């Protein structure tokens, strides 16, 4: 009940703010718990006439959200920022940079790809003091610096990537009402989760919705499953070794993790539509099953961004909620959390571009998106009171309280693996191929690119 009150109060505040907002700004400057100082500070820069182009992976609702942030920068500095999204970002950015017509800034969902462009001299290093800033102002700052530091074309290591918008992946989404109606409890351990899964099947229902479809990137949701499973049955050290291929892909430890995923996805009784539908169902469509009536499934394991694809008007915390994808109680591995984030890199330097990268450090750049939906940040300087729903704040807590935090493994692997062989392998596995066979095929591709 308390949640409902919070949420409606927040909604009220939100709509009131919007009504008064001047022009296209979502929240009127000077109102609310935002750090307006950092907005005012921007005005000292005059960038009128500067054009800044940004290419990123966000389309649809996410595109509107990033644009709502960008508007503040434009409003304060007079610069003209053009964001364009592409759902084949990975290919597009390679073509654009190689062809010599890159955008000013690229938003990489995968550090591996950014590292690759950096090694070819297609990225411009960030100013030297940025690394210190990240270390000081981001929670677990060093890990974000490490994730954004690559070897350049000159062989020297430098910070090329700045993380903005982070995702927590180890989440299971559910509809509290459905759980209440059926009398299910949120599981606290993997053993309980598996018991609950069987319980749901025994009740004649379907426990999971899983969809691996994602156009040209089909298969990636399965890699997240496997990574989460890696962290739950193996040590973080094994995980790190795995992403560097020091632990081979066809190692029994990895195969076991793939099979842990298969235990859920390859069981016809466990997944909505049967195992055959897993690989072809689009990941954007698959959470819809939670909200169907009667529910097509009860649980959906997906990252923190997924509410963007919930039905219109769904209130996270009320209509839908999440719990931490639990770890095995019997294994002594703590509570590992898998996450990811988008890393911003400069592909074509200019005065305006530098100013925009500087803008990303300001609390206001984070808070505008936080106050809307689906935005987590390790930035310690932001006011978390701007979160309109307490569940997202709860998510941020998961991020900050993890015993082990590891970055999405496939994004750390070389592109040919993490955005290629791993995806294909998972699609093949979901289609019924043997885990060891799939792992061996991925390993052989990895061997071939060494």
Partner 1 sequence: MDQLLFAVSTIIVGVFGCVAYFYFSNILLDRIYPASGPNAGANINKANAIRPWLFVLPALLVLGLYLVYPVFSTFLLSMRDSRGDFVGADNYIWLAGDDKFRESLGNNLLWLVIVPAASTFFGLVAAGLTDRIKWGSVAQSLIFMPMAISFVGASVIWKFIYDYRGENQGEQIGLLNAIVEAMGGTAQTWITVPFWNNIFLMIILIWIQTGFAMVILSAALKGISEETIEAAYLDGATPLQIFFKIKIPQIWGTIAVVWTTITVTVLKVFDIVFAMTNGQWGTQVLANLMYDWMFRGSPDFGRGSAIVMVIMLLVTPVMIWNISNAHKENR
Interface contacts to partner 1, rule CB under 8 A:
90-91, 94-95, 98, 110, 112-113, 116, 119-120, 206, 215-216, 218-219, 271-274, 276-277, 279-281, 289, 296, 414-420, 423-424, 427-428, 431, 441, 444, 448-449
CA 177 → CA 140, 154, 243, 291, 354, distances in Å? 36, 57, 39, 10, 48
CA 295/CA 66 separation, integer angstroms = 32
Between residues 287 and 374, which has the closer beta carbon with respect to partner 1? Answer: 287
- Shortest Å, Cβ 166 to partner 1: 22
Q: Is the Cβ of residue 69 or residue 279 nearer to partner 1 in the bound state?
A: 279
The residue among 130 and 281 lying less far from partner 1, judged by its C-beta, is 281
Minimum Å distance from CB 104 to partner 1? 19
Name the minimum Å distance from CB 59 to partner 1: 17
Q: Tell me the closest approach of the beta carbon of residue 277 to partner 1, in angstroms.
A: 4
Which of 272, 362 has the CB closer to partner 1? 272
Pick between residue 56 and residue 219 the one whose CB is nearest to partner 1. Answer: 219
Strand partners, 120: none
Nearest approach, Cβ of 61 to partner 1 (angstroms)? 22
> Taking the CB of residue 88, how many other CB atoms lie within 10 A of it?
13
Minimum distance of partner 1 from residue 96's CB (angstroms): 11
Alpha carbon distance 226, 213 (integer Å): 16
Half-sphere exposure of residue 206: CA atoms within 13 angstroms, side-chain side: 22
Instruction: Pick between residue 119 and residue 384 the one whose CB is nearest to partner 1.
Output: 119
């Amino acid at each position: 009940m308390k949640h409902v009150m919070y949420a409606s109060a927040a909604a009220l505040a939100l709509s009131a703010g919007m009504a008064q907002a001047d022009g296209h700004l979502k929240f009127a400057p000077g109102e609310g718990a935002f750090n307006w100082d950092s907005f005012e500070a921007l005005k000292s820069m005059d960038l009128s006439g500067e054009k800044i182009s940004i290419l990123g992976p966000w389309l649809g609702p996410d595109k509107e959200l990033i644009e709502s942030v960008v508007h503040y920068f434009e409003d304060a500095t007079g610069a003209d920022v053009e964001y364009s999204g592409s759902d084949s970002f990975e290919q597009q950015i390679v073509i654009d940079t190689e062809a010599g017509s890159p955008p000013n800034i690229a938003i990489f969902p995968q550090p591996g790809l950014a590292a690759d462009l950096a090694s070819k001299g297609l990225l411009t290093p960030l100013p030297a003091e940025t690394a210190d800033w990240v270390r000081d102002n981001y929670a677990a700052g060093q890990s974000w610096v490490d994730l954004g530091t690559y070897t350049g074309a000159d062989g020297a290591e430098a910070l090329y990537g700045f993380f903005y918008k982070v995702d927590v992946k180890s989440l299971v989404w559910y509809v509290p009402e459905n759980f209440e109606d059926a009398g299910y409890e949120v599981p606290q351990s993997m053993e309980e989760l598996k018991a609950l899964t069987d319980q749901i099947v025994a009740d004649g229902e379907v426990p999971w919705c899983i969809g691996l479809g994602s156009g040209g990137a089909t298969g990636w949701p399965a890699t997240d499953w496997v990574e989460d499973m890696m962290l739950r049955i193996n040590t973080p050290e094994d995980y790190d070794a795995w992403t560097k291929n020091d632990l081979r892909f066809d190692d029994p430890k990895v195969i076991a993790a793939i099979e842990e995923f298969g235990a859920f996805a390859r069981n016809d009784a466990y997944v909505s539509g049967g195992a055959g539908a897993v690989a072809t169902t689009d990941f954007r469509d698959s959470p819809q099953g939670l909200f169907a009536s009667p529910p097509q499934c009860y649980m959906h394991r997906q990252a923190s961004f997924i509410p963007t694809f919930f039905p219109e008007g769904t209130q996270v915390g009320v209509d839908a909620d999440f719990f931490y994808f639990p770890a095995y109680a019997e294994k002594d591995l703590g509570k590992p959390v898998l996450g990811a984030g988008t890393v911003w890199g400069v592909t074509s330097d200019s005065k305006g571009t530098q100013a925009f990268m500087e803008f990303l450090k300001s609390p206001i750049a984070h808070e505008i998106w936080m106050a809307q939906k689906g935005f987590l940040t390790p930035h310690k300087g932001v006011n978390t009171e701007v979160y309109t729903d307490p569940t997202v704040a709860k998510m941020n807590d998961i991020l900050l309280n993890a015993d082990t935090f590891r970055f999405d493994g496939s994004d750390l692997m070389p592109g040919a693996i993490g955005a290629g062989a791993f995806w294909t392998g998972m699609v093949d596995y979901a289609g019924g191929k043997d885990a060891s066979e799939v792992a061996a095929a991925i390993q052989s591709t990895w061997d071939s690119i060494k």
